[in-house]
Structure 1
Amino acid sequence: MSISASDGILVVSANVSIIVNEVIEQPALIVPGPVHVRQGEYLSFMVNVTDPDWAADNMTLAASGLPDGTSFDPSTGIFNWNVSSVQPGPYTITFTLTSDGSTIFQDSKVVIIHVDNGNGRCFICEFFSTARTVLRTSTVTTNPWLLLLSGMIGLTTTLAVGTRRARAQLRRSRRLVRG
């Protein structure tokens, strides 16, 4: 492209090249949050991908940590599980998206599936899920055993203080009765 400028007497021209570079946006995975399912139920969900440069990139989906009896189709992103004779408890599955375009990108997301027994909720799953949520939203450490230990120390301290106060009150009462 040629650009010219004039002050009315002199004319100056210059050739200018404009190069527009492609903005490469990173692809991202979209997975469900924690999932609760009971033994004997069927679970199915889709792992979705967002990528503005989809046509320019080759995408590869993968899953790791799949429990026995599950299936995952990387071409469609569909996860299926007939939850029959598995142990109740949490199962962690990691889904990974890799883009091998001009710049290689990778995104991984974790899905936690809580399998409850057929009679009701999985107490252990609920306890640790709730404890983990509380710990993540606070500034306390993320070790649930430390949280349990802190609670026990607090309870012991409360009982000790209450016992001392009760003994002091008992001594006062004995003095009043004696005389």
Structure 2
Amino acid sequence: GTTSVPTRAAPVSLSDDLAPAGVSETSGVLTTAVGGSFSLPPPLSTLTPPSPAPTGVPGPSEGEEETTTTLITTTTVTTVHSPVLCNNNISELEGLLEAPEYSGGSFFGGLDCTYSVSVYMGYGVEIRVEKLNLSKEEALSVEGLEEDHRFLLANETLMAEGQVIRSPSNHIAVRFQTYRATSPGAFKLRYQ
């Protein structure tokens, strides 16, 4: 096709007479013409470089066409960030478990923290909820661990400040998950 406006490309319909030249409809070439009608040139890979013009020969005269071919390339970059892991194995007989502190940066992909607490064999673990301030996008769970078996003791929907959670086993896991990039929720659990 042709256009009288040099800054706009006219839609090109490839006819059967261009097929022998090796032009396909998926060539990805944008052609803009200035002047009269024209035919689409073959793809750049099939062109042979023109021989240098003799000195003193004028350029295209009036009525001749001038063709500009532009190749457009688009690059898309996708970056995937995994959650920051903050795993701690704790073997002290008592202590505090708290949400990681927000220090003004951002947690790309959120946080996925597991705190594993072990006390003396034959004793259970008692957890007191001292502070709990989580958003709907965050999860907190307390699980008891016995050999190869895990069992849920409580999660954020069942917890309240002042509540005491008891595990019959000497080993528990507390898991905190958030997909918020900044200012994660807060919790403070005292165990013994």
Q: TM-score, length-normalised on structure 2?
A: 0.28
Max radius of gyration: which structure?
2
> Which one has the bigger helix percentage?
1
Structure with larger RCO (C-alpha < 8 A, sep 6+): 2
